[in-house]
Structure 1
């Protein structure tokens, strides 16, 4: 990503959104960017929704077991209180946050903070998920990642739920979900 140099010396913030289906590498990419920011000696704060305890209570953990310490929170306004004097804020599983998250990200970016947000852009029904559409609309940079369809091997951007549970939020991994391409998703075999 190219960032235009700032001649005035004023720090400019921006919002990056990493999106895609389950198993596309969103969290892995978020962790990679945050670790690189730390290598650059930038002050980084990382947040995740308290409900996400699949791999660890506090750490953000990718499916391939890469991890980075984070702060679990109940609502996005807490980010404004805890971000303090940071250079970079990372937010994982953004689809699970409340409707204030896009405004919180805007406020952080206006303070000159780089905000990196990762989340599912669609739920298991193929519908926009949570605040992700609003974050995508506000984003300065968007990275859409794809998984590999488990049925045919093509690019997958749908999260197919193997369970009959109809609730929008059902935390799970490969036991409950699999990545599928558009064709295989709609065939629902």
Structure 2
């Protein structure tokens, strides 16, 4: 099974320091929706793993988050693809959960969901150090994109061993599909 794990904000859509709080605020990054669709059409299972502490902070409800994700899924379907699943951590930074990145809980849940003994070799794309740390700890191959917080993350350094770097999600998908 070909599985890809993607962060949401800063990878698929524009990030906001004030949080993406409504479907109207969710704006796809150029080329990201088409990249997901191409991956999906090539037989990959595309899964999103996203910290969504705006729920714990009271900035938006689960219903609103579901509406945001419905918009994301609609745009991918219109491009001819599919997002198979969306895993979220609704907790705040100080809640001590195991699912909030940089902890690997969401990734381990994904492995269980797909009956995988481990995530070795599964690529995971993020724009922040916590995305890459969670991916690496779960055994994935971390990919850093230069969208969202990617440039700042690269400039800070200290990336997990084996992290690959690309300009954006479309460039990552181009690489994956050319390596098949």
Q: Same fold (TM over 0.5)?
A: no
Bin of the TM-score, shorter chain as denominator length:
0.3 to 0.5
**Which structure features the higher share of strand residues?**
1
> Normalization by structure 1: what TM-score?
0.38
Larger radius of gyration: 1
Higher RCO (Cα < 8 Å, 6 or more apart): 1
> Normalization by structure 2: what TM-score?
0.40
